[in-house]
Amino acid sequence: MRSRAIWIGGLLLTLSALAVILSPALRAAAHEFLQGFRLRRLMVVPYAFSLSENAIPTLHRALEGDVSFEPPEPRSVQSLSEAEGILGFAVRRPAGVETFASMGVIPETAVRWTVDVGHLREALRAAGAEDVEVPEALQGTVVTVTVGPAFIGTFEFQGAPYGWLHAAPPVYTMQPEGDVRPLAEAALRLIGMPAAEARRLAHTVDWGTTLLLPIPMAPGMTLEVEPRALGDREATLFTFPEAMQAPNGEMVPVRFLLWSDDHGIYLIGGPDADPEQLIRWARSLR
């Protein structure tokens, strides 16, 4: 049972790391962030990954010197009070979850991107996205995103393992202000989003209030994404069909529920998790 709990914790870390890696360049593109970012909606966008593997090394070389990022080092903790002392906020828990089998803290980390128009255009050429226009006015724009800190824990419910993540809302800034749409479209294309979808999102998303979580779908990858209502909020249910082998040898799905409120971002789930139970937990936060 402990090994299953550790597995769930690892998957939660992977999903939270995905958000950190994919969202900064997309989300930091709005001048409203300078007036104070207010997360009101999580928008999950699965898409067919369209970037050639041969282009990735060129993208890395073109943008490496423009982006500074120190990966956070997760640390284990022995108690909620210890975790809260590090986090600086109270860890919220679903109703009925009194203790965790394992607990950890992911420290706050910041990503800083200083836009070099020449480097960005080079990266776009490598990605086959020469049609994206990058104005000279973006030269020297500094985008900063601060993510976390976050609490991550595992627990058991009716003999099954679950993972729980509570993260502080991200903070984004962009200086100086400018037209955000070319930068958003460029970032979406650089993570392999098809051209039409990238352009549509860049021009229609409310970048001042929406956290966009793009999920690249590689060939053969199956992921079901379903919006679920949480009162005046919307959650997203992720289902990975036949993602894990149960002790009896049967392949079972893994499900996670992702949502946010004024206190943070939350993720809960596990193997063969009942979607309605995840919804009940989400509604019961204390």
| Percent of the chain surpassing pLDDT 90 | 34
Question: In whole angstroms, what is the distance from residue 33 CA to residue 37 CA?
Answer: 5
Dihedral pair phi/psi, residue 219, rounded to 5°: -55, 130
In this model, does residue 3 exceed pLDDT 80?
no
Return the structure tokens found at 38.
């207010």
Q: Which of 2-6, 209-213, 273-277 has the lowest mean pLDDT?
A: 2-6
Q: How many angstroms separate the Cα of 234 from the Cα of each of 16, 71, 92, 105?
A: 19, 30, 18, 26
Note the pLDDT of residue 9: 35
Cα 212 → chain centroid: 8
Alpha-carbon Rg for the chain, nearest whole angstrom, is 19
Question: Residue 40 has what pLDDT?
Answer: 55
Q: What is the pLDDT of residues 69-111, one digit of tens each?
A: 888 888 999 999 999 999 999 999 999 998 899 999 999 988 8
In this structure, what are the phi and psi dihedrals at residue 225, rounded to the nearest 5 degrees?
Answer: -120, 125
Sequence length of the chain is 286
Overall domain count for the chain = 1
> Which pLDDT value is given to residue 245?
67
Tell me the CA end-to-end span of the chain in Å, nearest whole number.
27
Is the pLDDT confidence value at 266 over 90?
yes
Nearest to 140 by CA among 119, 123, 109: 119
Averaged pLDDT for residues 20-33: 31
Q: Which of 29-38, 117-126, 175-184, 221-230 has the highest mean pLDDT?
A: 117-126
- Please identify which residue in the block is written with the tokens 């970048």: 207
Which domain, by its residues, includes 259? 2-283
Higher-pLDDT residue of 138 and 35 is: 138
